[in-house]
Amino acid sequence: MTTPITGTCSKQVFHAKEWGTYSCALQATTIVDGKRYCSIHTPAYVKAKRAQREARWDANSAARTQARLDKEEQDRRAACYPDLLAALKAAHSHLQELRDAWERGAISEHDGKGGTRSDRNVDCEVQARAAIARSKGETP
């Protein structure tokens, strides 16, 4: 049988309004290293709460860091958008020229040297046209 713990908590608590400390007035529930503690000031509980607070801080910090990195990535992408769009428009124009040449018969299925016409021209042209339309806020 254990002896009941009597007395109040031995923890000195900071009093924010009076810039001083006072003894915790709560009933002691545990004794650690000869000192009485209430359930709030028990070292194991204090340590667990601190770990919980630090984990929350770390999670918030990681979220802020990720948000900053996401913003930097968005800014980087936005900065190269005009160049990428100009390059895409030039490539789309070239693909249209190839299609026109193919339809006029200026380009044959085979080049006579073992090479063949690319079948990807149409797919690339469609993708480029759709991306350019989306850049203007249009539905492809």
The Cα 12–Cα 21 span in angstroms is: 6
Site membership for Zn ion, residue 28 (CB under 5 A): no
Rg of the chain (C-alpha set): 36
Site size toward Zn ion (CB under 5 A) is 6
Q: Which of 14, 19, 35, 38 binds Zn ion (CB under 5 A)?
A: 38
Q: Which of 11, 36, 95, 125 binds Zn ion (CB under 5 A)?
A: 11
| String of contacts with Zn ion for each residue 53-92, x by CB under 5 A | ----------------------------------------
User: What is the residue type of 82?
Assistant: P
Among residues 139, 131, 140, 138, the alpha carbon closest in space to that of 81 is found at: 131
Strands 35-37 and 30-32: antiparallel
The Cα 140–Cα 126 span in angstroms is: 9
Among the residue ranges 19-27, 51-59, 63-71, 85-93, the one whose residues contact Zn ion (CB under 5 A): 19-27
Q: Hey, what are 107's tokens?
A: 């380009």
Q: Which of 1, 7, 9, 122 binds Zn ion (CB under 5 A)?
A: 9
Q: Which of 5, 15, 41, 64 binds Zn ion (CB under 5 A)?
A: 41
The three-class DSSP label of residue 40 is coil
Site membership for Zn ion, residue 24 (CB under 5 A): yes
Shortest distance, position 44 Cβ to Zn ion, whole Å: 13
Main-chain dihedrals φ then ψ at residue 31, nearest 5 degrees: -125, 125
Interacting residue ranges for Zn ion, rule: CB under 5 A: 9, 11, 24, 26, 38, 41
